[in-house]
Structures are given as C-alpha cells and as structure tokens.
Amino acid sequence: MSLTNEEIAKYLEGLDKEAKALKTEALKLSWHMRGGLAYDQAMMLSDSERKIISKMIEENYEITKKTNLPHF
C-alpha cells in the first residue's frame, strides 16, 4: 500500500494527537491518585484499566460534591 505525503502527514498527526491524549490522561490519573499511581505506572495501564480508574475518580468526585466534602 502506498500513501501520499499528505496522507502520511495526516496519519502522523493522528498518532501525535493520540499520544498527547494518552499522556494527558496518564498525568490526570497520577495527579488524582496523589502518588498512589506514578506517571510511568499510569502509562503502562491498558485502555480498559485507565477507563475503570477514570470512572472511579469521577464517581468519587460526584459523591464528594453531593456530600459537600472538600475536594482538592
């Protein structure tokens, strides 16, 4: 299969966006876990593991909001 330079550039842009999104998600998970999950460990998680942890964080955030407990 042969691609044009434009198609290759578009493909690489997509990969770059995916990589940035993964790094952002890993950093957010690490921050929310307050040291319980290091950035390098977050980068090693599978997509499903990251989604599960993200859902748990969101659920805990919602509980914190409903109970008026302080959130950092």
Per-residue pLDDT of 7-38, as tens digits, reads: 999 999 999 999 999 999 999 999 998 889 99
Range of the domain at 42: 5-67
Specify the amino acid at residue 38. A
User: How many Å apart are CA 57 and CA 40, to the nearest integer?
Assistant: 19
Number of domains in the chain: 1
% of residues, the chain, pLDDT over 90: 75
Mean pLDDT throughout 38-54?
Answer: 95
Task: Please report whether residue 36 resides in a domain.
Answer: yes
Spatial contact of 71 and 65, defined as CB atoms under 8 Å apart? yes
Spatial contact of 42 and 29, defined as CB atoms under 8 Å apart? yes
User: How many Å apart are CA 16 and CA 19, to the nearest integer?
Assistant: 5
Band (65; pLDDT cuts 50, 70, 90): confident
Task: Please report whether residue 44 resides in a domain.
Answer: yes
Task: Please report whether residue 61 resides in a domain.
Answer: yes
> What mean pLDDT is reported for the chain?
92
pLDDT for residue 50: 95
Task: Please report whether residue 72 resides in a domain.
Answer: no
